[in-house]
Structure 1
Amino acid sequence: MEELTAEVIETEDKEALIDEIMTRYGQEILQLVYSYVKNKGLAEDLTQDIFIKCYKSLHTYSGKSKLRTWLWRIAINHCKDYLKSWYNRNVVMTNEEPANSQTKKEMVEQVVIQKEEDDELIGAILMLPIKYREVIYLFYYEELPIKEIAVLTDTGDNTVKTRLKRAKELLKERLEA
């Protein structure tokens, strides 16, 4: 990881470096973007845009933060910009809903029940407002510490803690209903 950070600062071969970054962080960024836009095809497009931005901005990376943090900051800002954009507000997305994988008939009842509970939880998380959804995703799915989440979301530690608490309360209400 530290080797890649030093490489970013010193490299001349941007293509090889961006390949390494995409290989290492591509899936994480895609999942993060999906948590914002709730649309697989759109998430893939925005992820591609994010890596293009990363490629064009490699020269601005100073090494003061982890490469992952820098990349996630770009991704979060890009998602927020998209959600605020005219295009997103005025174009109705059709024919794309989150895909729910179907369980096979041979699966035991417990696996089916667990899958339904997981889907219900994911659905409830995706229904949360973005400010709560992002902290839940970063804390529980990416297992990031509060301080790093605060840096990524450009908020204070206490704000992150408050949002986590409120998000859990909202999830509890929705799942008990």
Structure 2
Amino acid sequence: MNQLQFTQSKPSINNNWSKEEKLDFLMNEYGDKIIRLAYSYVRTKHSAEDIAQEVFIKCYEHLDEFRGDSSHKTWLYKIAINKCKDHLKSWSHRNVVLTEIKTSIQKVMHPASDIECIRKEEGQFISEKILSLPRKYREVIIFYYYEGLSLKEISNLLNLNINTIKSRFYRGKKLLEKELKGGDFLE
């Protein structure tokens, strides 16, 4: 009995589409991923959403100039990384961080129910450990495991030598493993 194998082809941009249709496709296809990527840098949902919006504005402005040297996904990620780095250097980011520290102190003074706290901790433990890694390791781990990029694609995206990416990937995994072993569920 022959088994039919079906391959699911990834939808792509049709060159006959208008600029608005192309943008709509890219936003639907990569919007959530761009927000997650931005969140991994800026660590606030609101800022990540703002950055994603800026990414797609810039995408729209330069969509006609896209040469196809890379995939649209890689191009959008590159824009997002640059926007995130700009945001991290900005005064508004430093001001938000101070506000969040104040909010965290207030939460300690007025904690939620124990059960609610335990559930949140269980759900966020690994994400927090990944986000606590230094950025150079965190971004490689996120791109590899969450975005499914190869080390070569990450190398191209970050404009770094492949051996640097391999080293950061290995060290990031070791740091993450060390952090996770400190957690209750792995002891």
Q: What TM-score does the superposition give when structure 1 sets the normalisation length? A: 0.79
Aligned length: 159
Give, in angstroms, the shift of residue 17 of structure 1. 1.5
Query: What residue identity is the alignment partner of 2:28?
Result: T
State the Cα deviation string for residues 60-112 of structure 1 (Å, max 9, x = none).
21012111111111111111121122332345343888xxxxxx99xxxxxx7
Q: Hey, what does 1:108 align to over in structure 2? A: none
Q: Hey, what does 2:131 align to over in structure 1? A: 126
- In structure 2, distance between residues paired with 1:23 and 1:173: 37
Unaligned runs of 5+ in 1: 98-103, 106-111
Q: Hey, what does 1:54 align to over in structure 2? A: 59
Q: Hey, what does 1:18 align to over in structure 2? A: 23
Query: What residue identity is the alignment partner of 1:82?
Result: H
Give, in angstroms, the shift of residue 119 of structure 1. 2.4
Q: Structure 1 vs Structure 2: percent identity of aligned residues? A: 44
Q: What TM-score does the superposition give when structure 2 sets the normalisation length? A: 0.75
Secondary structure of 1:64's counterpart equals coil
- In structure 1, distance between residues paired with 2:53 and 2:166: 31
- In structure 1, distance between residues paired with 2:62 and 2:140: 26
* Aligned positions of 1:76-95 closer than 5 A: 76-91=81-96, 92-94=98-100
From 141, 162, 165, the equivalent of 2:170 is: 165
Q: Hey, what does 2:144 align to over in structure 1? A: 139
- In structure 2, distance between residues paired with 1:93 and 1:133: 24
Q: Is the 8 A contact 1:76 1:152 kept in 2?
A: no
State the Cα deviation string for residues 25-52 of structure 1 (Å, max 9, x = none).
1111111111111111111111111111
Give, in angstroms, the shift of residue 2 of structure 1. 7.5
- In structure 2, distance between residues paired with 1:174 and 1:89: 26
- In structure 1, distance between residues paired with 2:11 and 2:162: 25
- In structure 1, distance between residues paired with 2:35 and 2:99: 19
Larger Rg: 2
Q: In structure 2, do the counterparts of structure 1 residues 3 and 165 end up closer, same or farther at CA, with 3 Å as the change threshold?
A: closer
State the Cα deviation string for residues 95-145 of structure 1 (Å, max 9, x = none).
888xxxxxx99xxxxxx7xx82x5221111111111111100000111111
CA-based RMSD: 2.5
Q: Hey, what does 2:6 align to over in structure 1? A: none
- In structure 2, distance between residues paired with 1:71 and 1:49: 11
Higher RCO (CA 8 Å, separation ≥ 6 residues): 1
Unaligned runs of 5+ in 2: 1-9, 105-114, 183-187
